[in-house]
Structure 1
Amino acid sequence: MDPELAGLYALHVLFAGLWTGAVVFVTWAVLPLARDGDLDAQPLESIAGRVKRLSRISAVLLALTGVRMAMVLDYTETTVLFETTRGYLLVGMVTLWLVLMGLVEVGAGKLTDGTGRRKVREPARNARPFLLGATVVAVLLLVDAGLLAAGTL
């Protein structure tokens, strides 16, 4: 494998895993604590801010490395994108990536809506559907990436 491609792939997978892990952790570990009132507003606000920051950094890095990998692998022609299974997987990945960005932004925003007033239960309830959706999308992205990496399609 080309060293540039290997480096791009490693960075891409690293930040995809970090982003997915952060979203899943907030959804399955932090959100229930906030919903039950077992987490104070200040830590919740800090966690939501960090996951939002990681999401933004990951989104930028995934876009940059993904575009460069597509150029190196010559996936820039529309016939490759819209007439092959790999192309459909790539288009699906970009679509899921955009959806994940939106869900994390909205979910993390809703999670901190009441923290200034020391509220955590209601914001956690409001953020839950968005963060659950983000978790599903993040897992689908990893499945999509696995299918692409396997190269069997």
Structure 2
Amino acid sequence: MDLIPAAVWTLHVAFAALWTGSVLFVSATVVPAATSATIGTDAIASIVGRLQLVTRLSAVVLFATGGHMAGTTYTIERLTGTGRGHLVLTMLVLWFVLAALVEIGSKKLLSGVSTDKLREPARDARPLFLGAAVVSVLLLVTAGVLASNVVA
């Protein structure tokens, strides 16, 4: 058994789960709490700071591990000419979209921390985090389809 592919795959899945789970948690619990001002600015700054760290670290790990897996599994023809290749490319685009939504949403949410105003920045950030949650679910569904080998 070759341990390198197993380690790469495990790292990829672990960081994908960490990132999508973090986005879903912040979208479902933290942003609504900020909108209703039932959470403090210090807590928001800490949570969003950690989400940004998870986002940036995951983006690097997923790009490296996904690039390794794609490079050892696919040719350009297989990436662009097969259903599985299209799913891989779809995931790549969705990861970039997720990173952008989280970064922009985080900046909007954190904009009120220094002035102790959360409701308006949270309302402004809400659509971005809802979009990020949808993209997270789409990524998980795409990963499930890839893992199931339903698409050739």
Same fold (TM over 0.5): yes
Deviations 1:25-54 (A, max 9, x none): 001011111100111111111111110110
- State the distance in 2 between where 1:42 and 1:3 align: 43
Residue aligning to 2:15 = 15
- State the distance in 1 between where 2:142 and 2:91 align: 7
- State the distance in 2 between where 1:2 and 1:83 align: 28
Which residues in structure 2 correspond to 1:4-153 (within 5 Å)?
Answer: 4-73=4-73, 75=74, 77-153=75-151
Q: TM-score, normalised to structure 1's length?
A: 0.95
What's the CA shift for 1:148? 1.0
- State the distance in 1 between where 2:44 and 2:68 align: 36
Q: Any stretches of 5+ residues in structure 1 without a counterpart?
A: none
3-state DSSP of counterpart to 1:116: coil
| % identical equivalent positions | 48
Indicate conservation of the 8 Å contact 1:100/1:137, yes or no. yes
What's the CA shift for 1:70? 1.3
3-state DSSP of counterpart to 2:39: coil
What's the CA shift for 1:152? 2.2
Which amino acid is the alignment partner of residue 47 of structure 1?
Answer: I
3-state DSSP of counterpart to 1:49: helix
Indicate conservation of the 8 Å contact 1:5/1:72, yes or no. no
What's the CA shift for 1:78? 2.0
Question: Structure 1 segments of 4 or more deviating over 2 A?
Answer: none
- Say how many residue pairs are matched: 151
What's the CA shift for 1:72? 2.2
Q: TM-score, normalised to structure 2's length?
A: 0.96
